[in-house]
Structure 1
Amino acid sequence: MGRHQRTPANKAQHDYGTVRIIAGQWRGRKLRFPATDGLRPTGDRLRETLFNWLAPHIEGARCLDAFAGSGALGLEALSRGAAHCHFVDNQRAATDALRDNLSTLTCNNAKVVQASVLDWLARCDDSFDIIFVDPPFSSGLYEPILTALAESATLRQNGLLYIESDRKNTLPTPPGFTVLKDKTAGNARYQLWQKHQHP
């Protein structure tokens, strides 16, 4: 699940990394993604912890992998039984690779969109049970994205929001959200928030 609103890097056009799906129907499958600047898939250990947190909620969930990058988070969710995943990323190399990987996996319950995540959220009329947010650490996009999610119905009531950020970055919790999990590993901080049910 790596992602990132990145800048094109011509020298990396033909360089590829691999991401391994940890569990579920595609367990052990390794998929290639373009190694563009700023794209850092969420590591195996963090993903294992995250999906342990999500285990009671992932079956049948509708997911959004924002700043999708390699698609590691959304692909892991689909492998573990999510009903659908939207992948949104602004780089064509990333979205092309995602479409190829979904085709390789014969996965038909996903949609890939090449767009700025903020622009896409502004016109999104869909809603999701789980949203993954992992922009580039230095992007300055965290607060605008969290504000957009707090002010819209994109994340359903009682829905879950995963956020990965620099461990030194303390994110304000918007009104209507509760922090369920908050851990650090290396230079990353990863959190799971829940959107409150309206009274």
Structure 2
Amino acid sequence: MKPNPQKNKINAQHRNQIRIIGGELRGRKIHFPTTEGLRPTPDSVRERLFNWLGQDLTGQIALDLFAGSGALGFEALSRHAKHVYFCENNRLAAQSLRQHAQQFALQSRSHIAQQDSLLFLQNTTQTFDLVLLDPPFAWQNWAMLFQHLQSKLNPQAHIYLEAGSLPELPHWLTIIKQGKAGQSQQLLLQYANE
């Protein structure tokens, strides 16, 4: 079978970009750099997540801890989250996040930290209603992450977790929903604060 040059041209044109799928920014494009471990959450998985959460996040403060392309955090802002903290270790990806926050006129509702995720959790004094966890598949430091995360959660906070293989969960997280797509598994968790 002959390769289709038209098909390759189309694929190359859409590589390293995704669209926001819901809310006030629906249809806006996010362009992202090629960096190791960066794989934006597919449209169908983001749609499922925001169906789980409800489409209106008014008043919520969210954390996109392994922000990458920023797809999850910008989807939250598009659905009226009060503020989203983006944490991204890679310089080029963090720069891209800043450019998109400016392009979408969301600088006042976005905080972008170019920092290691665990250091961010250790040092921030902010607490969150929603935490989005979609680290590179190779990342495995879950026990340390959960240790630092608990004190940063507001009562009844939701945590979205996406990973190639699911980590052992601490007793204070309750599974609300779960799904699977391709190589990734997804959980929506709730903080069962005592």
Same fold (TM over 0.5): yes
Question: How many residues are aligned here?
Answer: 179
Task: Give identity over the alignment, percent.
Answer: 39
Structure-1 separation of matches of 2:92 and 2:139: 19
What does residue range 8-157 of structure 1 map to in structure 2 within 5 Å? 17-55=16-54, 58-107=57-106, 108-150=108-150, 152=151, 154-157=152-155
Structure scoring higher RCO (CA < 8 A, sep ≥ 6) equals: 1
Q: Deviations over 1:119-148 (max 9, x none)?
A: 111111110100001111111122321232
Partner SS, residue 90 of structure 1:
coil
> In angstroms, what is the RMSD of aligned CA positions?
1.3
Q: Which moved more, 1:60-69 or 1:169-178?
A: 169-178
Q: Tell me the secondary structure at the aligned position of residue 25 of structure 2.
A: coil
Give the TM-score, by structure 2 length.
0.88
CA distance in 1, matches of 2:141, 2:19: 27
Report the secondary structure of 2:24's partner residue: coil
Which segments of 5 or more consecutive residues in structure 2 lack a partner in the other structure? 1-14
Q: Which has the higher helix share?
A: 2
TM-score scaled to structure 1, two decimals? 0.86
8 Å contact 1:63–1:129 — kept in the other structure? yes
Which residue is equivalent to 1:170? 166
- 2:166–2:185 CA contact under 8 A, matched in 1: no
CA contact (8 A) 1:173 1:179 kept: no
* Equivalent-residue separation in structure 1 for 2:166 and 2:80 (angstroms): 32
Moved over 3 A (4+): none
Residue 191 of structure 2 aligns with an amino acid whose one-letter code is K
